A and B are shown apart, each in its own frame.
Chain A
């Protein structure tokens, strides 16, 4: 009993220290102390810190939320800040790392349509890392199919960094598809084969060398690169617009 009371007092003190911090350095320190205690009660205030325009404190808060994991996801989704894209990008980095498919719809709409490139990149990468095993079998395939559609759609973006993030997401999704078929591991899912087919094309055709290189790396890491055809195309004639 005494111990629980002490903990509660300790929790509200730790939270108050974050709310009352009067310098960027003290804020970071207070956030660090709160994340080390790993308190569910601290989740709302950690999310608020993402919007304080203090990159160091926000970085610590993201790590704290990730450490708390699944239990933090509903609150992060609830508190997504429509007016502060910096805060939103941190939220999506946290969601991406926690990898809970509860965040699937939020990740899909952010990757497809958020106005801030930093948010779209974080969401696109996160889509590839989702822990699909948490979804019931009958939901998994439609969810992966929808994710595939969104990632293929943002591959058309003019911003090379968005396309780069889409490749990272697609690599993750392809890997999930390869593992998700334990009955017949040699036959990849439809999602995976569509991705691999797309990669073959992009390795030759994306206008940005960095994006082509990332595709080749994805092919190598997935173990699907063909030594004769998988070579990186360093020079590329400019593609007519």
Chain B
């Protein structure tokens, strides 16, 4: 699986609503329909993290995607967000139609979580709906005034299309190389490299490394790792970022390359990536 970028909505570990015993599967399952919305919210997160995809758990989470009780002041749907994230992790494709419906939700963060989870579930039937998120192009996806995110979750959509190897997305992704937000540009370059294997896009990620601040540099390193562009290995190893972070990016680069090339004997280039990793220990 490709290494995920940090989404716009951070996914903090929610505080357990009550001090007391830790949840069990039965308790979390029961809490998902508790009248107390904070219990439901926590249970949805817990199930995504600790449950295996039992059918009744998946069914209950699909139902939670239509919750109307848990609302934020701005009209967001916190329970739906957590349920959508959990469904991506539980690997049950029965969730796909309900997640596709979530791409029309009024809450940006529900749409973002649904797009990410659709990328993880690897069911190509969602591709046309993901493409629709990109149809507004750059002009239709500038930052929403007063909010930290564009109109649509375009980064999550591009990442999902990349994971689904949806080559038909290339013409819709290309304009985002010129989006005013650098992190959107890099998400586009990364997806385009995975979908086309054209080194132009990998080089673009490498060239950006020294020009950005530390936080964005970390994102770039993850993108370069996920792109599987092997000539990026040296640039990752040299970047001014913590060693532990470079190690994670190089591992992602190596694994994505090995899977893509289906390498059964190690090429010299793969060995070189590991030599760079050794030097970071």
Contact = CB atoms under 8 A, between A and B. Distances in A.
A77 B264 CA distance: 43
B243 to A, nearest CB: 7
B263 A232 contact: yes
A213 B251 CA distance: 10
B23 interface: no
B259 A209 contact: yes
A232 B255 CA distance: 12
Interface in B247-281: 247-248, 251, 254-255, 258-259, 262-266, 270-271, 274, 277-278, 281
Interface stretch (A33-41, A68-76, A98-106, A119-127): A119-127
Contacts of B271: 217
B244 interface: yes
A217 B281 contact: no
B221 to A, nearest CB: 15
A117 B244 contact: yes
A213 B244 contact: no
Identify the interface centre among A160, A213, A231, A235: most chain B CB within 10 Å of its CB. A213
A210 B244 contact: no
A160 B266 contact: no
A232 B258 contact: yes
Contacts of A160: 251
Interface residues of B, number: 20
Contacts, number: 55
B48 to A, nearest CB: 16
Interface stretch (A8-16, A17-25, A134-142, A161-169): A161-169
A214 interface: yes
Contacts of A209: 254-255, 258-259
Interface residues of A, number: 23
Contacts of A189: none
Interface in A135-180: 160-161, 164-165, 168
Interface in A178-206: none
A133 interface: no
Contacts of B277: 164, 210, 214
A53 interface: no
Nearest to A238: B91
Given A124-B281, A161-B244, A231 B265 contact: yes
Contacts of A210: 251, 254-255, 274, 277
B265 A232 contact: yes
A234 B259 contact: yes
A232 B263 CA distance: 7
A230 B263 CA distance: 12
Nearest to A126: B281
A232 B247 contact: no
A77 B121 CA distance: 51
Contacts of B259: 209, 234-235
A47 B210 CA distance: 30
Interface of B: 243-244, 247-248, 251, 254-255, 258-259, 262-266, 270-271, 274, 277-278, 281
22 contacts: A118-B243, A118-B244, A121-B281, A124-B281, A161-B248, A161-B281, A165-B281, A168-B281, A209-B259, A210-B251, A213-B266, A213-B274, A214-B274, A214-B277, A217-B274, A220-B266, A230-B265, A231-B265, A232-B264, A234-B258, A234-B263, A235-B259
8 cross-chain pairs, A with B, having the tightest CB-CB distances, nearest first: A125-B281, A210-B251, A231-B264, A121-B281, A209-B255, A165-B281, A232-B264, A168-B278
